[in-house]
């Protein structure tokens, strides 16, 4: 080996050693936080925003000095709207990157796909989107709304304020709308609505030809009783649905539509003038008028360098989830998942709708429920707000088989589906 080559090898070895060392040093100084949101594929439209909001929160926390004296380091992966890939990427985050907590998923099927991975490897997942309930996992924290925090208050509002007697439950054909509609149907029947006054309709993902269904709704709505549509239509199918409503001249004063999946972000792609008065139920609206929310919107616009960017409910859920995690880690004094999972229960942080949200023993949080009417500028006019906070109910009280179940992950019980009638825990996690 020539001298030159030798010195080259030595230099390379030193360089490699240094970089290894510095990597090790860095690993000690930072806490990794996983972000598991689709940045490509069909769900990118909704999930990209959540990745951005997480990056903003982490940057902000680092400016405040990080957590436990260490900087946070975001690890962003792209599961590309592909459900099996979600599980794979989750495994990668937990085993390879050893993240302390993960924030991610949008659709229920992606959550179901990563659930066993998080349970097997004892990870922590914060799930920020409203969902159908009927699930409880030791390793998942649900910061979005359960059906009783969104769907049921919305139906109550329509019954009381709009005196609705006939109901169209329209949804995209997958697990969230199917379960939510099952719960709503049971709830409406319990309230004395007759079966012939409920119309249930499912459409495929990305359905774009709404002519027949909208004209059916119109027909159903002209039976002499006040009619409303409860929409669990998901994603891209909403735009052609609302366009068709507008084209066929159905106004919110005739047949109001209350949607659970349409927020500020979704309205940004539509001309909202024909939609004025249609409703949405969420736990947060950008138009909530309080200083916390104003500051948050300002930060978000500066961070994205876009004065037109809007905020929405799942973003607020991530803000709550992230702040809860930071508080729990500081309380536990470690990022060890088992300790943090225990510390998270009972943690309270301010939400952006005014008030404090608390993590309950069933891994769901307390939230206010707001009903908003669409305004001409794509924002919502808040027409109703629950006086107090509503506790997320994972096992619906209106469904056979789940009404006797409760979930309590605190020490002696530590069970996700405890049956209060038989006094037995049904197993680790039943989906």
Partner 1 sequence: MRFARLFLALLGLALAMLAPPAARAADLDAAFARIATENFNEIEAAIGDLAATGNDKAATALQAMTDGALVYAPATKGVFIKKADGSFLDARTGVAPAEAPFATKPVRVNNRIRRALEAALGSLTLLAPDPAKRLAAAEAVFKSRDVAALPALDVALAKESDAKVKRVMTQARAAAILAKPDATDAEKVAAIDVVAERGDQDALSLFANLRANGAPIVKMAAETAAGAIERRLAVLSSVQNVWYGLSLGSVLLLAAIGLAITFGVMGIINMAHGEMVMLGAYTTFVVQELLRTRFPGLFDWSLAIALPLAFLVSGAVGVLLERSVIRFLYGRPLETLLATWGVSLILQQAVRSAFGANNREVGAPSFMAGSFDFMGLQITYGRLWIVVFCAAVFAALLFVLKATSFGLKMRAVTQNRRMAACMGIRTPWVDSLTFGLGSGIAGIAGVALSQIDNVSPNLGQSYIVDSFMVVVFGGVGNLWGTLVAALSLGIANKFLEPFAGAVLGKILLLVFIILFIQKRPRGLFALKGRAVEA
What is the C-alpha separation between 157 and 154, in angstroms, rounded? 5
Contact pick of 137, 203, 231, 312 for partner 1 (by CB under 8 A): 203
**How many beta carbons lie within 10 A of that of residue 261, not counting itself?**
21
What does R_g of the chain's alpha carbons equal in angstroms? 24
Q: Which stretch binds partner 1 (CB under 8 A): 136-144, 332-340, 376-384, 405-413?
A: 376-384
What is the C-alpha separation between 250 and 421, in angstroms, rounded? 48
Q: Tokens 């707000």 identify what position?
A: 385
Residue 45 contacts partner 1 per CB under 8 A:
yes
- In 276-389, which ranges are continuous DSSP H helix? 291-304, 313-332, 337-344
Secondary element (H or E) of residue 249: none
Residue 297 contacts partner 1 per CB under 8 A:
no
Site track 224-253 with partner 1 (rule: CB under 8 A), x = hit = xx----------x--xx--xx--xxx--xx
Closer to partner 1 by Cβ: residue 277 or 355: 277
Residue 386 contacts partner 1 per CB under 8 A:
no
Contact pick of 30, 32, 44, 419 for partner 1 (by CB under 8 A): 44
**Crossing angle of the two packed helices 337-344 and 313-332, in degrees rounded to 10:** 110
What is the C-alpha separation between 186 and 193, in angstroms, rounded? 10
Residue 156 contacts partner 1 per CB under 8 A:
no
User: 83 with 110: CB under 8 angstroms?
Assistant: yes
- CA-based nearest residue to 68, from 99, 30, 103: 30
Contact pick of 32, 218, 299, 327 for partner 1 (by CB under 8 A): 218
Residue 56 contacts partner 1 per CB under 8 A:
no
Which residues make Cβ contacts (< 8 Å) with residue 162, sequence separation at least 6? Answer: 226, 228, 256
What is the C-alpha separation between 393 and 417, in angstroms, rounded? 12
What is the C-alpha separation between 164 and 159, in angstroms, rounded? 5
CB of 41 to partner 1, least distance (A): 8
Closer to partner 1 by Cβ: residue 31 or 262: 262
Closer to partner 1 by Cβ: residue 77 or 140: 77
Closer to partner 1 by Cβ: residue 209 or 400: 209
User: 338 with 168: CB under 8 angstroms?
Assistant: no
Contact pick of 175, 186, 199, 213 for partner 1 (by CB under 8 A): 213
Contact pick of 202, 327, 342, 379 for partner 1 (by CB under 8 A): 202
Contact pick of 26, 122, 215, 302 for partner 1 (by CB under 8 A): 215
Residue 289 contacts partner 1 per CB under 8 A:
no
Secondary element (H or E) of residue 372: strand 370-374
Residue 92 contacts partner 1 per CB under 8 A:
no
CB of 305 to partner 1, least distance (A): 13
Residue 7 backbone phi and psi in degrees, to 5 = -65, -35
- Could you tell me how far CA 215 lies from the centroid of its own chain? 32
Closer to partner 1 by Cβ: residue 120 or 377: 377
CB of 381 to partner 1, least distance (A): 7
Angle at 379 between CA 59 and CA 372, to 5 degrees: 105
Residue 85 contacts partner 1 per CB under 8 A:
no
CB of 80 to partner 1, least distance (A): 10
What is the C-alpha separation between 313 and 317, in angstroms, rounded? 6
Residue 376 contacts partner 1 per CB under 8 A:
yes
CB of 178 to partner 1, least distance (A): 11
Closer to partner 1 by Cβ: residue 259 or 345: 259
CB of 109 to partner 1, least distance (A): 16
Task: Indicate the pairing of strand 415-419 with strand 424-425.
Answer: antiparallel
Q: Which stretch binds partner 1 (CB under 8 A): 143-151, 204-212, 339-347, 418-426?
A: 204-212
Closer to partner 1 by Cβ: residue 56 or 252: 252
Q: Is 155 exposed, middle or buried (0-12, 13-18, 19+ CB in 10 A)?
A: buried
- CA-based nearest residue to 315, from 283, 361, 340: 283
And the tokens for 326?
């930071």
Residue 426 contacts partner 1 per CB under 8 A:
no
CB of 269 to partner 1, least distance (A): 3
Q: How many residues bind partner 1 (CB under 8 A)?
A: 53
The residues of the shown chain that bind partner 1, judged by CB under 8 A, are 39-42, 44-45, 48, 161-162, 173, 201-204, 206-209, 211-213, 215-216, 218-219, 222-225, 236, 239-240, 243-244, 247-249, 252-254, 256, 265-266, 268-271, 277, 279, 373, 376, 381, 383
């Amino acid at each position: 080996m020539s001298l030159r080559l030798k010195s080259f090898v030595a230099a390379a070895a030193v360089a490699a050693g240094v970089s290894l060392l510095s990597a090790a040093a860095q690993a000690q100084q930072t806490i990794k936080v996983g972000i598991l949101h689709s940045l490509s594929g069909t769900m990118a439209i909704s999930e990209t925003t959540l990745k951005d909001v997480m990056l903003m929160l982490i940057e902000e926390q680092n400016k405040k000095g990080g957590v436990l004296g260490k900087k946070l380091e975001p690890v962003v992966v792209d599961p590309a709207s592909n459900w099996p890939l979600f599980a794979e990427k989750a495994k990668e985050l937990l085993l390879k990157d050893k993240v302390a907590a993960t924030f991610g998923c949008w659709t229920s099927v992606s959550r179901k796909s990563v659930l066993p991975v998080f349970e097997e490897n004892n990870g922590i997942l914060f799930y920020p989107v409203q969902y159908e309930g009927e699930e409880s996992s030791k390793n998942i924290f649900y910061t979005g709304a359960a059906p009783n925090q969104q769907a049921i208050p919305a139906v109550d509002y329509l019954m009381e304020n709009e005196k609705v007697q006939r109901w169209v439950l329209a949804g995209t054909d997958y697990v969230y709308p199917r379960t939510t509609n099952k719960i709503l149907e049971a709830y409406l029947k319990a309230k004395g609505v007759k079966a012939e006054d409920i119309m249930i309709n499912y459409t495929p993902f990305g359905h774009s030809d709404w002519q027949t269904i909208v004209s059916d709704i119109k027909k159903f709505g002209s039976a002499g009783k006040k009619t409303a549509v409860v929409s669990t239509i998901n994603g891209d199918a909403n735009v052609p649905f609302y366009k068709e409503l507008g084209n066929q001249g159905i106004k919110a004063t005739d047949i109001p539509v209350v949607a659970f999946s349409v927020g500020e972000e979704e309205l940004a792609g539509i001309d909202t003038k024909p939609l004025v008065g249609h409703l949405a139920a969420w736990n947060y609206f950008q138009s909530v008028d309080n200083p916390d929310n104003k500051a948050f919107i300002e930060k978000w616009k500066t961070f994205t360098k876009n004065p037109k960017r809007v905020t929405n409910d799942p973003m607020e859920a991530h803000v709550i989830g992230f702040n809860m995690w930071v508080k729990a880690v500081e309380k536990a004094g470690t990022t060890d998942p088992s300790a943090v999972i225990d510390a998270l229960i009972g943690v309270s942080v301010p939400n952006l709708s005014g008030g404090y949200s608390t993590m309950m023993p069933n891994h769901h949080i307390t939230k206010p429920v707001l009903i908003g009417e669409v305004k001409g500028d794509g924002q919502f006019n808040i027409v109703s707000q629950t006086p107090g906070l509503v506790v997320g109910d994972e096992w619906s009280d209106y469904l056979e088989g789940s009404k006797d179940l409760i979930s309590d992950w605190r020490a002696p019980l530590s069970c996700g589906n405890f049956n209060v009638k038989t006094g037995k825990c049904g197993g680790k996690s039943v989906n």
